[in-house]
Each structure stands twice: as structure tokens, then as C-alpha cells.
């Protein structure tokens, strides 16, 4: 894989969003991935609706949490995702008012990635931003820089937050993952969290997935 | 009902300026009660005003944060004007929080709370060694914490429903700062930890509001097709 890569430099990442007081990180992680996949296949970057998933994805639990693997399946069954502007985010569950005619992007299937960080790095550079999940304990206190918490603070089995891997590189010799979060732009570094790359820190390698757009 | 227009919604705390007449009366009452309750020889008076709020309850509740120091007057003397000592060691200054409940229509006041802690000055000995502060609660730390909390409230536009809630959030804020310091001291990367917009939330509140515990329930995960490995750079 190249020494560094950042899909923000290639137009495949929409602006940082804000999930508000709702556990809907899974929806933002998945829409972020599909935005990237749709861009790479069709050349247009859309901002896709998380609220549609919060309201209409019956496999998941809206603000009480959800799984990317379920969300991909729900999107396939629904027939696709509407744009953010057509189905805007409110941060709490409402009745589903999905409209097929407004579908802006669809997916054909979804895949799970290897748990080897080198493989993940190469896959990201070749295929686009990746939906991932990690232990977010340190993120409550994070302001900036490359975070590398001790394992006792970041149990890799206690995964509790889904985010989007958009790039990787090195800062002053410290390898990092660039992670798009969904807590608004006033969090971390303009909405991004940078995590040490190479030690499976915080379980970042455990739940990598992507939609497939033919 | 003259006071009502000067108050926010029932129960909300309103910040006061030092010159507020009601506050002056409450502060004099607190000072008097403080001196009656202490067995110090010298009369102690408010040497610096820090902050105060008032709240409409059955009457008015004042919450006042001030510094109190020794004057040169003995308690037994009936002198009206008393100067403070010039030497800081003799001042024996304390940071105090008083809560006074004032019932105007009965012309009575009650001291609900009095919390004071000494302000420790750095001790410079002949050898010019500065005493280690880490195991004591110096005022600077408290004032710095209050300053950080105030900055946090303004930056993230935080409003709390009552003085108690504000004090509870301050305690949580303080705990979170200590956790951030621990993370900072043990981090193996180049991260900076500290105050964020989540700094007034307990770990449990943060987890239940913003996180997604379903993710670590592995049995729920639907098996997915494995992705083909990357072909080439």
C-alpha cells in the first residue's frame, strides 16, 4: 500500500456530521462508507440519509444502537438510501417515511474485511473509506494528536462506537489512522479522531466492513 | 411581587454583582454567623468577593463564594473599622462558600451552608525550597478549576437547571479532568486529552447517550462475505 492515503484529498468524503444525543453512530459509519463507494463507482459525492436508517432499519435499534452488518442488509431490502436533504436527520426515531422514488444510491451487497491492519491499509487505499468500530473510552477526553491509549483504557473487545476510516499516514514518525467521527466539527481535529496504527489499538481492526456497489 | 421580574423562571439561579443590596445584607449575616461559630481570637472579614447567585425559593437563597481573612481587631473589641493584616501569613485567608436563606416578609435569615478551606501559600524556606503542593488542595487549583469550568460553560453554551446541578456538573468536570490527565500521562502517542464538550458527563451518561453497546454483542453479528484482498498499490 502507499505510505499514506487520504480519501478526503480525492473527494470521496462528505463533511463531518453530528449524531446528536442518539446512539446512531452505526448509521453514520455505514452512510459514510456508501457515500465513498458510490463516489468511486459513479463519480458524484452525495450526502446520504442516516435518518432513513434510524426510522426504517427494523433490524437495528435506532438511537439505542445498531450493527453495520444489519444496516447493509436493511438498505438492500429497502432498495437504497435517500439523500440527506430528502430525508434529513432529527436525532430521534420517527415513523418511517421512506420513498423509493427518492433513492439516490443503492448497494448490491456487503463484505467483511480482514482483521490484519496491513491488509486493511491496502484495502482502504484501493477501495475507499471503510466502516469500522472501536472502543471509544479515550474519545470522550480527546482533543487532538495521534491517540495511543494503554490497553487498560481501550479494551479491544469492548467495541462501542462505529466510525469511518478515511485515510492513514505518519505524523513525526507515528503511524496513524484518520477517522471521521459523527460528533460534529467541534470535536477533536475538525471532527476527526487520529488513532495509532499498527497495534490494533482499541480494536480498530475487529469490525471492518464495506458495502459493494456494482 | 416586586422581585419576580428580577428573577428568571422559578428555581433558576441568577448571577449577582457585588453591589447588590440583598447580597450585601446576606453577606453581612454570613460573616457574623461565621465569626460567632469560629473560636479564632481575631475578627475575620470578607477580604475578596469571587461570585454569588440568588435563587427564588420560599424566600431567596444566596450562594456566595468569597475569601475571608484575619483583621487586626480582637473579637472582644467593639471597634467599628478593622484593617486586615499586611503580612499574608497572618491573614490566614480561607476560600468560603456560604448559602444564606433570606425570608424578607419575616425579616429572618438562615445560614444553610458554610464550607471553607484554607488557602495554602507556597512556603519559601531559607533554602528557597518550594513546598510540594501535589498532596494538598491549594486555592490556585480550585480557582483554576473554576476558571476552566467557566470557560467550558461559555464555549459549549452549557446551561444547568439549578445551582445544585451546576455544582454536581463541576464535580463531574473535575473527575473527568483527572481521567484526562491520567490518559495523557500514559498515552503512547502524541494525543492531547483534556476538556471536550463531553467533559460534564459521567462515563455512564456519555456511554448511554452517545455510544452503541450493541457493537460488542458479538453474537448479534450477521456473518458477512469476506472481502477480496487488495490487488495492488
C-alpha cell at B220: 448479534
Distance from CA of A64 to the nearest CA of B (A): 7
Residue B162 has pLDDT above 70, yes or no: yes
Whether A10 sits among the annotated catalytic residues: the reply is no
Nearest to A34 by CA among A110, A91, A97, A101: A110
Q: What's the CA gap between B17 and B30, in Å, rounded?
A: 17
B residues 153-212 near A, CB within 8 Å? 156, 176, 179-180, 183, 186-199, 201, 203, 206-212
Catalytic residue of the set A56, A148, A154, A161:
A161
B residues 119-158 near A, CB within 8 Å? 156
| Cross-chain Cβ contact B187/A148 below 8 Å | yes
Question: Could you say which of B189, B213, B227 has the minimum Cβ distance to residue A146?
Answer: B189
Confidence (pLDDT) at A30: 98
Distance from CA of A73 to the nearest CA of B (A): 9
C-alpha cell at B19: 453591589
- Which helix or strand (DSSP H or E) is residue B9 part of? none
Nearest to A81 by CA among A10, A41, A32: A32
Q: What's the CA gap between A122 and B233, in Å, rounded?
A: 7
Whether A181 sits among the annotated catalytic residues: the reply is yes
- Collect contacts of B199-206 with beta carbons under 8 A, ≥24 apart: B199/A141, B199/B152, B199/B173, B200/B152, B200/B158, B200/B169, B200/B172, B200/B173, B200/B176, B201/A140, B201/B172, B201/B176, B202/B172, B202/B175, B203/A137, B203/A140, B206/A140
What contacts A45, CB < 8 A, 6 or more positions away?
A11, A12, A13, A14, A35, A38, A39
Asked if B216 reaches chain A (Cβ–Cβ under 8 Å), the answer is yes
* pLDDT tens-digit readout, A60-83: 999 999 999 999 999 999 999 999
Mean pLDDT of chain B: 81
Per-residue pLDDT of chain A (214 residues; tens, 9 = 90+): 899 999 999 999 999 999 999 999 999 999 999 999 999 999 999 999 999 999 999 999 999 999 999 999 999 999 999 999 999 999 999 999 999 999 999 999 999 999 999 999 999 999 999 999 999 999 999 999 999 999 888 999 899 999 999 999 999 999 999 999 999 999 999 999 999 999 999 999 999 999 999 9
Residue A144 β-bridge partners:
B192
Helix, strand or coil, per DSSP, at residue A139? helix
Helix ranges, A60-166 (H): 68-78, 117-127
For B167-219, the DSSP string reads: HHHHHHHHHHHHHHHHHHHH-SSS-EE---TTTTS-HHHHHHHH--GGGG-GG
Confidence (pLDDT) at B85: 82
DSSP A191: T
| Cross-chain Cβ contact B189/A148 below 8 Å | yes
Nearest to B111 by CA among B37, B220, B18, B14: B37
Whether B174 contacts B145, CB under 8 Å:
yes
B residues 21-60 near A, CB within 8 Å? none
Other beta carbons less than 10 A from residue A169's beta carbon: 17
**Percentage, residues of chain B above pLDDT 90:** 35
**Chain B residues within an 8 Å CB radius of A113:** 226-227
| Cross-chain Cβ contact A147/B189 below 8 Å | yes
Catalytic residue of the set A181, A202, A205, A208:
A181
Average pLDDT over residues B5-14: 54
pLDDT tier, B129 (very low <50, low <70, confident <90, very high otherwise): very low
Look at B122 and B149; give whichever has higher pLDDT.
B149
DSSP A54: H
Whether B162 contacts B11, CB under 8 Å:
yes
* pLDDT tens-digit readout, A166-186: 999 999 999 999 999 999 999
Asked if B222 reaches chain A (Cβ–Cβ under 8 Å), the answer is yes
Whether B176 contacts B182, CB under 8 Å:
no
The pairing of strands A109-112 and B225-226 is parallel
| Cross-chain Cβ contact A157/B188 below 8 Å | no
**Quick check: ipTM above 0.90?**
yes
* pLDDT tens-digit readout, B26-51: 999 999 888 888 888 888 999 888 88
- Which helix or strand (DSSP H or E) is residue B96 part of? strand B94-103
Amino acid at each position: 500500500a502507499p505510505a499514506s492515503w487520504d480519501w478526503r484529498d480525492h473527494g470521496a468524503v462528505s463533511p463531518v456530521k453530528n449524531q446528536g444525543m442518539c446512539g446512531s453512530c452505526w448509521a453514520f459509519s455505514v452512510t459514510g462508507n456508501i457515500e465513498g463507494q458510490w463516489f468511486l463507482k459513479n463519480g458524484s459525492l452525495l450526502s446520504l440519509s442516516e435518518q432513513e436508517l434510524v426510522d426504517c432499519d427494523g433490524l437495528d435499534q435506532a438511537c439505542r444502537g445498531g450493527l453495520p452488518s444489519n444496516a447493509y442488509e436493511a438498505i438492500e431490502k429497502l432498495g437504497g438510501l435517500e439523500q440527506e436533504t430528502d430525508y434529513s436527520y432529527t436525532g430521534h426515531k420517527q415513523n418511517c417515511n421512506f420513498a423509493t422514488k427518492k433513492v439516490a444510491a443503492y448497494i448490491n451487497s456487503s463484505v467483511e474485511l480482514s482483521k490484519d491492519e496491513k491488509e486493511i491499509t491496502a484495502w482502504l487505499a484501493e477501495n475507499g473509506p471503510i466502516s469500522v468500530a472501536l472502543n471509544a473510552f479515550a474519545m470522550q477526553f480527546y482533543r487532538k494528536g495521534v491517540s495511543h491509549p494503554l490497553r487498560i483504557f481501550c479494551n479491544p473487545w469492548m467495541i462501542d462506537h462505529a466510525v469511518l476510516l478515511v485515510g492513514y499516514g505518519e505524523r513525526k514518525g507515528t503511524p496513524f489512522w484518520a477517522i471521521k467521527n459523527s460528533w460534529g466539527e467541534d470535536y477533536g481535529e475538525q471532527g476527526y479522531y487520529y488513532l495509532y496504527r499498527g497495534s490494533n489499538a482499541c480494536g480498530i481492526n475487529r469490525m471492518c466492513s464495506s458495502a459493494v456497489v456494482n | 411581587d416586586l422581585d419576580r421580574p428580577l428573577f428568571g423562571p422559578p428555581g433558576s439561579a441568577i448571577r449577582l454583582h457585588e453591589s447588590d443590596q440583598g447580597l450585601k445584607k446576606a453577606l453581612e449575616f454570613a460573616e457574623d454567623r461565621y465569626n460567632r461559630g469560629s473560636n479564632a481570637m481575631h475578627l475575620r472579614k470578607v477580604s475578596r468577593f469571587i461570585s454569588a447567585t440568588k435563587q427564588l425559593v420560599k424566600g431567596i437563597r444566596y450562594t456566595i463564594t468569597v475569601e475571608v481573612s484575619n483583621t487586626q481587631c480582637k473579637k472582644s473589641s467593639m471597634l467599628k473599622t478593622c484593617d486586615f493584616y499586611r503580612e499574608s501569613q497572618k491573614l490566614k485567608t480561607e476560600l468560603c462558600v456560604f448559602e444564606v436563606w433570606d425570608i424578607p416578609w419575616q425579616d429572618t435569615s438562615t445560614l444553610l451552608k458554610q464550607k471553607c478551606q484554607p488557602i495554602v501559600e507556597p512556603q519559601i524556606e531559607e533554602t528557597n525550597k518550594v513546598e510540594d503542593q501535589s498532596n494538598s488542595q491549594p486555592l490556585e487549583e480550585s480557582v483554576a478549576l473554576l476558571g476552566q469550568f467557566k470557560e467550558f460553560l461559555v464555549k459549549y453554551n452549557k446551561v444547568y437547571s439549578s445551582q445544585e446541578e451546576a455544582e454536581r456538573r463541576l464535580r463531574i468536570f473535575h473527575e473527568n479532568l483527572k481521567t484526562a490527565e491520567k490518559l495523557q500521562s500514559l498515552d503512547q502517542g502524541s494525543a492531547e486529552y483534556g476538556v471536550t464538550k463531553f467533559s460534564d458527563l459521567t462515563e455512564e451518561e456519555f456511554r448511554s447517550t452517545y455510544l452503541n453497546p450493541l457493537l460488542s454483542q458479538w453474537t448479534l453479528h450477521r456473518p458477512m462475505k469476506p472481502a477480496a484482498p487488495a490487488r495492488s498499490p
